[in-house]
Amino acid sequence: MELNTCLSIINQSGMLLMIKKKRGLGEGLITFPGGKVEGDETPLDCAIRETEEEVGVKITNPKKAGLIIFKQNGGNIQIMHVYTAREFTGSPKESDEAVPMWVSYDNLPFGNMWIDDRIWLPLVLQGKYVNCVFEFTNDWKFMISSSCEFT
């Protein structure tokens, strides 16, 4: 099964708008707003919609920052489209899916994030475009392999 997803990284003066997931895949982890591409929606439309649904802000002028492929050793594939944005309207607020929080670049909570974030996120924060492939066990608990290119 192949699934398209999106992720939005909002950057304001050295602070990132992150979320603590309240449910679903990654429950309890600290990550960024995002989710599944629905119907005929584009990944960009997904990033805008999911950010608004999860934290109540609407990103404007998002920029594509990467494409990350996640493979499970059982054959499932998830393609994540990563966007960055510096502009948004609204104020972050908690939803039934997420608790928003502003986190400093200098204090990223990697111990409570997905393990792959340590590899690709610093590159994106440096303004690089990433193309990565990560392979995980079927339960997402262990990374089996990783490769990452950037420009």
Residue 96 CA to residue 83 CA, distance in Å, equals 23
Segment 94-122 shows an average pLDDT of: 96
Dist CA 104 CA 18 (whole Å): 10
Look at residue 115 in the predicted model and tell me its pLDDT: 95
Residue 4 sits at φ, ψ, to 5 deg, of -95, 135
Catalogue all structural domains in the chain, each as residue range(s) with its CATH number: 2-150 (3.90.79.10)
For residues 125-135, average pLDDT: 97
Say what the pTM is. 0.95
pLDDT exceeds 90 at position 68: yes
Above 90 in pLDDT, residue 25?
no
**Residues 123-144: what's their mean pLDDT?**
95
**Torsion angle defined by CA atoms of residues 100, 105, 108 and 113, in that order, rounded to the nearest 10 degrees:** 70
Q: What is the pLDDT of residues 28-55, one digit of tens each?
A: 999 999 999 999 999 999 999 999 999 9
What pLDDT is recorded for position 74? Answer: 87
Dig out the tokens for 124 from the structure.
């994106």
